[in-house]
């Protein structure tokens, strides 16, 4: 990281003038243990799973949409796929818990269960299932590294997963569900009230232990969130930068940090979600997102949107002439 910062200071431009773009390149140098920055091969790893809490009427559409969009990830017909094509990133859909069998040659088969149970009535999954989903995320990080990926983006698809993300956030941050729950994919005011009540009931029924991240994840989380949390853990362990997407991805990142606090230093935020807890999670993670575009689509779209920005930063860092090369006096830090 020191070598990367020295490189930035030698580049023929005002010191620190690219702000967060300089900081993220320095962080990537630390994550990868090299001042040589190469982001040429990248992937969006999208974990797809259903959530039993949908039975409580917390969403505008039913869980069948999860399978349809998962298959669209495979065929390239989704929002994140169109954006990823522009950003030169491959979308890797992972069936970690879709409620039916899904079809598509690009889908990674890693189903832990056919969706989680209804957390309003009891634990969403067993502790062993949560561990299994985390390990799938870790293995995906390893697989992507073996395939030569230099940076990963987190993505997801799971109808009802803003409900599970709000429940996790409420427990981890010790906040009332009203403070951390939004409309998701377009709930009415009545639907939003019902969603908050369901989250309160899930927390009351399951009594998750905020000091035990695995307990909280298994009781009020989701398989897609567990997979993303595993990807963050694996990325940190293997030296691969992993981008946080929006609210759901940030809830997964916080889960990873609560499981292993050292992961906090390896997180890179892309944007701040329009969901109410978006800014709260960024502050809790100590992350500074690049974009505030009022996005709340999910799928990994926010993470993909910053890849071209990172490419621009890497181009200046790697290719720009230094003060010495163009024979002008270097800028000096002023006090």
Report the catalytic residues: 299
Residues 6+ apart with CB under 8 A from 130: 214, 217, 218, 221, 226
SS3 108: strand
Residue 334, number of CB atoms within 10 A of its CB: 5
The C-alpha atoms of residue 164 and residue 166 are separated, in whole angstroms, by 5
d(Cα 298, Cα 224) in Å, to the nearest integer?
12
Which H or E element spans position 202? Answer: helix 189-206
164 touches 222 (CB < 8 A) = yes
Rounded Cα–Cα distance for residues 113 and 135 (Å): 14
How does 268-299 read in b/e, with b if 16+ C-beta sit within 10 Å? Answer: bbbbbbbbbbbebbbebbebebbeeeebbbbb
Cα–Cα distance, 303 to 245 (Å, whole number): 5
Q: What distance in Å separates the CA atoms of residue 93 and residue 109, rounded to the nearest whole number?
A: 9
Compute the distance between CA of residue 308 and CA of residue 325 in angstroms, rounded to an integer. 27
């Amino acid at each position: 990281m020191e070598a990367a910062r020295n490189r930035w200071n030698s580049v023929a431009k005002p010191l620190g003038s690219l702000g967060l773009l300089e900081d993220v390149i320095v962080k990537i140098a630390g994550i990868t243990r090299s001042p040589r920055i190469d982001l040429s091969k990248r992937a969006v790893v999208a974990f797809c799973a259903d959530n039993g809490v949908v039975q409580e009427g917390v969403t505008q559409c039913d869980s069948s949409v999860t399978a349809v969009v998962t298959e669209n990830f495979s065929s390239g017909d989704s929002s994140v796929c169109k954006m990823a094509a522009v950003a030169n990133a491959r979308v890797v859909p992972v069936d970690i818990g879709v409620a039916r069998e899904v079809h598509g040659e690009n889908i990674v088969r890693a189903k832990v269960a056919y969706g989680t149970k209804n957390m309003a009535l009891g634990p969403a999954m067993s502790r062993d299932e949560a561990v299994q989903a985390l390990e799938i995320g870790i293995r995906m990080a390893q697989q992507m590294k073996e395939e030569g990926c230099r940076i990963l983006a987190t993505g997801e698809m799971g109808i009802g997963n803003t409900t599970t993300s709000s429940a996790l956030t409420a427990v981890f941050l010790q906040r009332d569900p009203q403070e951390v729950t939004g409309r998701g994919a377009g709930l009415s005011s009545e639907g939003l009230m019902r969603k908050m009540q369901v989250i309160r009931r899930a927390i009351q029924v399951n009594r998750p232990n905020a000091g035990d991240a695995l307990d909280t994840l298994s009781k009020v989380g989701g398989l897609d969130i567990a997979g993303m949390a595993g990807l963050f853990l694996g990325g940190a362990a293997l030296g691969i930068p992993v981008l946080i997407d929006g609210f759901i991805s940030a809830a997964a990142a916080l889960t990873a940090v609560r499981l292993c606090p050292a992961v906090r230093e390896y997180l890179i935020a892309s944007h701040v979600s329009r969901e109410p807890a978006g800014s709260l999670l960024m502050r809790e993670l100590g992350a500074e997102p690049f974009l505030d575009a009022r996005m709340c689509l999910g799928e990994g779209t926010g993470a993909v949107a910053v890849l071209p920005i990172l490419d621009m930063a890497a181009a200046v860092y790697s290719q720009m002439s230094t003060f010495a090369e163009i024979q002008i006096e270097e800028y000096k830090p002023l006090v």
